[in-house]
Amino acid sequence: MFQELRELRMLRLEHDRGFGTASLFVVALEMASGELYVYLPPGNEDFTKLYGAQPCDTPVFGPDTLRLMSEEAHPAQPPQRVMAAHGKIIEHQRFDAPCAESLKREPDSEP
C-alpha cells in the first residue's frame, strides 16, 4: 500500500503541475475486502489516464463499508500546519503554485 501511494505521489509530482482543489485525493479502505482505493476528484482526467485509473461514482463512506484513511494533497505543495491554542494541529490546503525551487527538488528530499 505504501509503495503504491509513493509511486502515485511521484507520478503526480512528475506529471501534474496543477494546484487546485482537484489536487486533493482520498485514500479509502473497503472494509469487506481490505482493499485500498484512491479517489481522485473531477478535474483529474488527464492524470487518471496516465495512471490507468478507472472512473467511478463518488465514494460513500460508512463505518462498515468504506473507511476514510487519509486525505492527500499534491506532494509539491504540502498543507500548511498550524497549532491551535488547545494543542490541536489544523491543516490548511494551499493552492497557490509552489516556488520553482520546490518543483525542482527531488520528491524524497527535505525542504
Of 16-20, 44-48, 83-87, the range with the highest mean pLDDT is 83-87
Helices (H), the chain: 2-15, 45-51, 100-104
Q: Quick: pLDDT tens for 73-98.
A: 777 777 788 898 888 888 887 777 77
72 in Cβ contact with 25 (< 8 Å): yes
What percent of the chain is modeled with pLDDT above 90?
A: 10
Give mean pLDDT, residues 44-67: 85
Cα distance between residue 38 and residue 72, in whole Å: 10
